[in-house]
Amino acid sequence: MGEEIFHLDDFSNYFFGIVFKFIGSFFLAYRFVLLKELDSAFDEVRANDPDIDQADWPKVFEVLKEDILWYGRFYAMHKKDLYQYLAIIPAFACDVAAMLFLPFTLFGALNICAILIYQVLLVYILADPVDLNEWIAIFFLSASACAVTVFSPDPSSPLRDTTNQFEYIKLSLEWPSIFFIAFLCVAKIWTFYSLSWGMKTVIELKDNEKVSDFYQPRPASMYNLMGPIHLAVNGAIWVLFIKSVLNASGDQSDTQTRIAYGILVILAFVFAGLGCSWGWAHSFHDMIGELHSATVFPVYVLLQTAMNICLGIVCFLEVPTNELYFWLSFSSLTICIIAFIGVMEYNEPVDQDMLGSSRGDFETPLLEGMPNDERAV
């Protein structure tokens, strides 16, 4: 696609595309690091003063007023919050630029850069060590994710023939397509309410000083895994609507339409966590603040990539470049994601003193002796 626009040789296309993608991935990963730093700053204030609850923003801002921009005004915000919003601009712009130079498959494979950069930033900015077994798990995740995108459908290839389709938007009406769309809708609402319930319970426990304000759930707990599933499903539903509109407006093989689709897929990555209760969506602030962020971000990026590819194959009649290798790669990616979660769970320390530490087991010691209606999971 880059050759059609810039008429550069292959090496130039790949060089510029990879550089832009790497820079965009850096800002995407750094945005999540900023969100974690922001949450840690808020939690430190609440941990140091038991009288300040989770939603006591005027008191929190008063303690942190040196870091609060436009303090005292209704639009006041922490400087880290402003920085994470500003990080959206270069992340989005560089991803769009990379897409103009790279084939869709290579662009998708390079999404793994954000995970690698995030792991490095964990060490050097958040001082959160990454163990050797985590790096090994990430290596296999990278290899399987690259294989999935390499064998995923080429946007310029012909679509699969079927009589059961909504011809106007090229949407399959076969039962796998209907089931997959229904699954996305149910998963979105289910994860939204499940997370809302869990977050409400944990926040009440923090406010009552029963757990530390720095508390995070176990990486492999269902409560924690609801986060990346929720974000990935939000992004897939966004792409479902956008792809339908683009299919209705022109030929998918048209270069400008493909660019528009790519830009909107990037927007889905950037804004999938835009929170609103009426839209059954939790924000990135919620996910990073209340969940195990070192697990949530990598799993979210991989699930988002996998769900978008599956959406094209199942619902929009796209055909993998090699079906056998694609599904083998997809199965490998699934296994590697499960293995990565298992490694994170294994590496996570089990703390006995829930009030004195940042992490603990949300399902066992925390809930013992609590009434059933207060249990979040």
Per-residue pLDDT of the chain (377 residues; tens, 9 = 90+): 444 444 455 667 788 889 999 999 999 999 999 999 999 999 999 888 888 888 888 898 999 999 999 988 888 899 999 999 999 999 999 988 888 887 777 787 888 889 999 999 988 888 888 889 999 999 999 899 888 888 888 766 777 777 787 777 778 888 999 999 999 999 999 999 999 999 999 988 888 888 888 888 999 999 999 999 999 999 888 888 887 877 776 655 566 666 776 777 777 777 777 777 777 888 888 888 889 988 999 999 999 888 888 888 888 888 888 889 999 999 999 999 999 999 999 988 875 444 444 444 444 334 433 333 333 33
Rounded to whole angstroms, how far apart are CA atoms 340 and 129? 15
**Lookup: tokens for 322:** 């090699």
Q: Are 78 and 64 in contact (CB under 8 A)?
A: yes
Host H or E run for residue 285? helix 284-290
Rounded to whole angstroms, how far apart are CA atoms 160 and 216? 45
Looking at residue 207, the DSSP 8-state letter turns out to be H
Domains of the chain, residue spans: 2-374
Rounded to whole angstroms, how far apart are CA atoms 184 and 237? 7
DSSP string spanning 72-133? TSTT-EEHHHHHHHHTHHHHHHHHHHHHHHS-HHHHHHTTHHHHHHHHHHHHHTS-----HH
Rounded to whole angstroms, how far apart are CA atoms 290 and 228? 12
Angle 132-150/112-124 helices, nearest 10 degrees? 160
